[in-house]
Chain A
Amino acid sequence: MSVATADPPVLRRGLELPRAATLLRPGVILAGLVVAFFVVAAIAPALLSSGDPDKINLDAVLQPPAIDHVFGTDQSGRDLYTRVIYGARESLLIGFGATALAMVLAIALGGVAGLAGGVVDGVVNRGIEVLFAFPVLMLALLFVAVFGPSVRTEIIAVGISSAPGYARMIRGQVMAVRDSGYVEAARALGHPYGRVVGVHIFPNAMRPLVVVATLGVGQSIVWASGLAFLGLGVPPPSPEWGALLDAGRDYITKAWWLEVMPGLAIVLFALSLTTIGRWLQRRLEGGTAR
Chain B
Amino acid sequence: MTPDLIPLPVRPSEIVGAGADQDGPVADLLRVENLNVGFGDRHRYREIVRDVSFSLRAGECLAIVGESGSGKSVTARTLVGLTGDRSRVRADRLELAGRSLLGLGDRQWRRLRGKDVGFVLQDALVSLDQLRPVGKEIAEPLRLHGWGSRGTRQEKVIELLREVGVPEPEMRARQRPYELSGGLRQRALIAAAIAMGPRLVIADEPTTALDVTIQAQILDLLERTKEQGKALILISHDLAVVSRLADSVAVMNGGEIVEHGTAAEIFSNPRHPYTRQLLDAIPSAHSRGTRLSRTVVRTGLGSSVVPLAPRGEGPVIEAEGLVKRYRGPDGVDRTVVDDVSFSLAPGETLGIVGESGSGKTTTARIALALVAPDAGEVRLNGEAWSGLSERRRRARRRQIAVVYQDPLSSFDPRWNVERILADALDGEEYGSRAAKRARIGELLELVGLEPEHRARGPLQLSGGQRQRVAIARALAPRPAVVVCDEPVSALDVSIQAQVLDLLCDLQDELGVSYLFISHDLGVIHHMSDRILVMCDGRLIEEGEADRVLTRPREEYTKRLVASLPQLELGPDATPDRPQAVA
State the A residues within 8 Å of B (CB). 4-15, 180-182, 184-193, 199-200, 203-204, 207, 287-289
Contact = CB atoms under 8 A, between A and B. Distances in A.
B413 A289 contact: yes
Given A14-B459, A14-B460, A184-B370, A7 B465 contact: yes
Interface size of B as a range: 35 or more
14 contacts: A7-B462, A13-B459, A184-B370, A184-B410, A186-B423, A189-B397, A189-B423, A190-B396, A190-B397, A190-B398, A191-B426, A193-B390, A204-B412, A289-B408
B423 A10 contact: no
B315 to A, nearest CB: 20
Find the residue from B411, B423, B457 having the highest chain A CB count within 10 A: B423
Contacts of A13: 459
A111 to B, nearest CB: 18
A7 B464 contact: yes
A10 B68 contact: yes
Given A186-B423, A189-B397, A10 B69 contact: yes
Nearest to B44: A16
Interface of B: 67-69, 293, 295, 368, 370, 390, 393-398, 400-402, 404, 406, 408-414, 423-424, 426-427, 448-450, 452-453, 457-465, 468, 473, 477, 492, 494-495, 498
A193 B406 CA distance: 23
Contacts of A9: 462
B518 to A, nearest CB: 18
Contact of A6 (B410, B448, B452): B448
B244 to A, nearest CB: 27
Nearest to A16: B44
The 9 closest A-B pairs by CB, nearest first: A190-B397, A14-B459, A181-B409, A289-B413, A14-B460, A181-B410, A7-B464, A11-B462, A185-B410
A240 B450 CA distance: 59
B378 to A, nearest CB: 14
Contacts of A199: 412, 423
A8 B449 CA distance: 12
Contacts of A15: 460
B409 A182 contact: yes
A190 B402 CA distance: 12
A289 B295 contact: no
A8 B253 CA distance: 12
A179 to B, nearest CB: 10
Contacts of B67: 10
A14 to B, nearest CB: 4
A185 B463 contact: no
A188 B457 contact: no
B427 A5 contact: no
Nearest to B69: A10
Contacts of A188: 368, 370, 397, 400-402
A260 to B, nearest CB: 38
B412 A189 contact: no
A226 to B, nearest CB: 38
B409 A180 contact: yes
Most buried by A among B410, B426, B494: B410
A289 B409 contact: yes
A206 to B, nearest CB: 11
Nearest to B391: A192
A10 B491 CA distance: 11
Contacts of A287: 459
B295 to A, nearest CB: 5
Nearest to B253: A8
Given A11-B461, A11-B462, A188-B370, 14 more contacts: A4-B450, A5-B450, A5-B453, A7-B468, A10-B69, A10-B462, A10-B464, A14-B460, A15-B460, A182-B413, A191-B394, A204-B413, A204-B414, A288-B414
A193 to B, nearest CB: 8
Nearest to A195: B426
A136 B462 CA distance: 50
A190 B411 contact: no
A139 to B, nearest CB: 36
B370 A6 contact: no
A69 to B, nearest CB: 48
B465 A5 contact: yes
B412 to A, nearest CB: 5
Given A188-B370, A190-B394, A7 B401 contact: no
Contacts of B414: 203-204, 207, 288
A11 to B, nearest CB: 4
B470 to A, nearest CB: 8
A289 B401 contact: no
A219 B18 CA distance: 61
B402 A185 contact: yes
A289 B394 contact: no
Nearest to B466: A11
Contact of B410 (A8, A182, A190, A207): A182
Contacts of A289: 408-409, 413, 458-459
A97 B189 CA distance: 55
B423 A187 contact: no
Contact of B448 (A5, A10, A181): A5
A175 to B, nearest CB: 15
Contacts of B459: 13-14, 287-289
A75 to B, nearest CB: 53
B293 A6 contact: yes
Contacts of B395: 190
B136 to A, nearest CB: 30
B498 A7 contact: yes
A288 B407 CA distance: 15
A287 B400 CA distance: 33
B412 A187 contact: no
Contacts of B370: 184, 187-188
A10 B462 CA distance: 6
Nearest to A201: B412
Contacts of B461: 11, 14
Contacts of B460: 12, 14-15
Contacts of A10: 67-69, 462-464, 492, 495
A5 B426 CA distance: 27
Contacts of A186: 412, 423
Contacts of B410: 181-182, 184-185
B106 to A, nearest CB: 27
Contacts of A187: 370
A204 B411 CA distance: 12
A7 B492 CA distance: 11
A196 to B, nearest CB: 10
A214 B453 CA distance: 34
B24 to A, nearest CB: 38
Contact of A190 (B293, B427, B463, B464): B427
Nearest to A4: B450
Given A190-B397, A289-B413, A6 B404 contact: no
A207 B412 CA distance: 12
A261 to B, nearest CB: 40
B424 A189 contact: yes
Contacts of B452: 4
A204 B410 CA distance: 13
Nearest to B296: A6
Contacts of B390: 193
Nearest to A1: B452
A184 B369 CA distance: 11
Contacts of B400: 188
A149 B547 CA distance: 84
A187 to B, nearest CB: 7
Nearest to B390: A193
Nearest to B483: A188
A14 B457 contact: yes
Nearest to A289: B413
A118 to B, nearest CB: 14
